[in-house]
Amino acid sequence: RYKPPATETNPALEDPTPDYMNLLGMVFSMCGLMLKLKWCAWIAVYCSFISFANSRSSEDTKQMMSSFM
């Protein structure tokens, strides 16, 4: 028969953590750069790690790498 585990109509609705973490990470890294606060930069690194850990496997690794930066 037929085989569409093209499932999850709304994966974004069900777990927004990685997206939030991505956004937070970017915000903190901008803060860190503009205001020269070291701890901001560290928090940004943490956020990107958390986002990576929670992410779905369908997202590309290139995005992950750029978020690490």
Partner 1 sequence: MKNLYIFIAVLFIPWSFSLAKYDEFEDGDDIMEYDDNDFAEFEDVSEDTVTESPQRIITTEDDEEEATVELEGQDENQEDFDDTDTQEGDTESEPYDDEEFEGYEEKPDASHSKNKDPITIVNVPAHLQNSWESYYMEILMVTGLLAYIMNYIIGKNKNNRLAHAWFNTHRELLESNFALVGDDGTNKEATSTGKLNQENEHIYNLWCSGRVCCEGMLIQLKFLKRQDLLNVLARMMRPASDQVQIKVTMNDEDMDTYVFAVGTRKALVRLQKEMQDLSEFCSDKPKSGAKYGLPDSLAILSEMGEVTEGMMDAKMIHFLTHYADKIDSVQFSDQFSGPKLMQEEGQLTKLPETKKTLLFTFNVPGSGNTSPKDMESLLPLMSMVIYSIDKAKKFRLNREGKQKADKNRARVEENFLKLTHVQRQEAAQSRREEKKRAEKERIMNEEDPEKQRRLEEAALRREQKKLEKKQMKMKQIKVKAM
Chain residues binding partner 1 by CB under 8 A are 1-7, 9, 36-39, 42, 45-46, 49-50, 53-58
**Total residue count of the chain as it appears in this document:** 69
Nearer to partner 1, 42 or 66 (CB): 42
Q: How far is the CB of 21 from partner 1 (least distance, A)?
A: 10
Give the whole-angstrom CA distance, residue 8 versus residue 4.
11
Nearer to partner 1, 6 or 34 (CB): 6
Distances (CA, A) of 1 to 4, 9, 15, 16: 10, 21, 31, 33
Q: How far is the CB of 22 from partner 1 (least distance, A)?
A: 14
